[in-house]
Amino acid sequence: MPKVVDREEQRRRIGAALLRLVAERGLDEVSVRTVAAASGRSPGAVQKYFRTKEDMLTFAAELAGERIEQRMAGVSTALPLREALRALVLTTLPVDAERRAEATVQLAFAVHAAHHPRLAAIRRQVDQEIRQALAAWLASAGHESHATAVADAVIAVSDGLALRMLYAPQEHEQLLTALDRALNALVPGPGSRAEPSLGGTAPDENGS
């Protein structure tokens, strides 16, 4: 038993090193050799845990998916719906170093998945879980109508803004204004432009 636990722990450490490498240098820099260096191991030691680069990437994508679920679970559903959605999207936007690393990894894996069926299957599974959770959340807050389509639209806005923020950090503020505009439009209600917010932390409405 201790050996099994240790093996899983070693795989997780190598996976975490791979995610840091992608965040810092991009997915095209990942190889058994670079991941070995980043995790302080020999190439042979890495190959003891992952036979191919594809194996490493698949495991790292699963790790990244776990992180998304943890972040989603960390957003308080006690917040008004639109503020909760905003908080959720903000956890995925590259507005600080940690979230930038995470967004870089997610988007690099997403693009890579276009050519790699195993990664695509993991992404679709994660998307599916987020879609269902968001749709249930919208429905329970009285937005039953088109809940799935609204959930998919929120995911799309989130991914699209994250992508642009990665290479346009100087436009962060303008893009956060666009986020508020999209959420106001997709989830009208208390806190939207037409009605004053009930809470004290509604997004700034002074967009261009």
Residue that has been written with the tokens 């679709």 in this structure: 124
**Angle, vertex CA 127, rays to CA 129 and CA 132, nearest 5:** 35
8 Å CB contact between 180 and 148: no
What's the number of CA atoms in the CB half-sphere (13 Å) around residue 37? 6
Say if residue 89 is exposed, middle or buried (CB neighbours under 10 Å; 0-12, 13-18, 19+). buried
**Angle, vertex CA 72, rays to CA 29 and CA 168, nearest 5:** 45
Of residues 25 and 51, the one with the C-beta less far from a copy of itself: 25
Verify binding: residue 136, a copy of itself, rule CB under 8 A. Answer: no
**Angle, vertex CA 82, rays to CA 81 and CA 84, nearest 5:** 65
Q: Pick from 21, 38, 61, 147: which binds a copy of itself (CB under 8 A)? A: 147
User: Could you tell me the smallest distance in angstroms from the CB atom of residue 156 to a copy of itself?
Assistant: 3
Of residues 45 and 55, the one with the C-beta less far from a copy of itself: 55
Number of residues that bind a copy of itself (CB under 8 A): 51
Question: Segment near a copy of itself (CB under 8 A), from 12-20, 77-85, 101-109, 194-202?
Answer: 101-109
User: Could you tell me the smallest distance in angstroms from the CB atom of residue 115 to a copy of itself?
Assistant: 4
Of residues 46 and 150, the one with the C-beta less far from a copy of itself: 150
Verify binding: residue 150, a copy of itself, rule CB under 8 A. Answer: yes
Of residues 18 and 179, the one with the C-beta less far from a copy of itself: 179
Say if residue 195 is exposed, middle or buried (CB neighbours under 10 Å; 0-12, 13-18, 19+). exposed
Question: Segment near a copy of itself (CB under 8 A), from 1-9, 25-33, 41-49, 68-76?
Answer: 25-33
8 Å CB contact between 20 and 38: yes
Q: Pick from 158, 191, 202, 203: which binds a copy of itself (CB under 8 A)? A: 158
What residue ranges bind a copy of itself (CB under 8 A)?
A: 25-28, 104, 107-108, 110-115, 119-120, 123-124, 127, 146-153, 155-161, 163-164, 166-168, 171, 174-175, 177-182, 185-186, 207-208
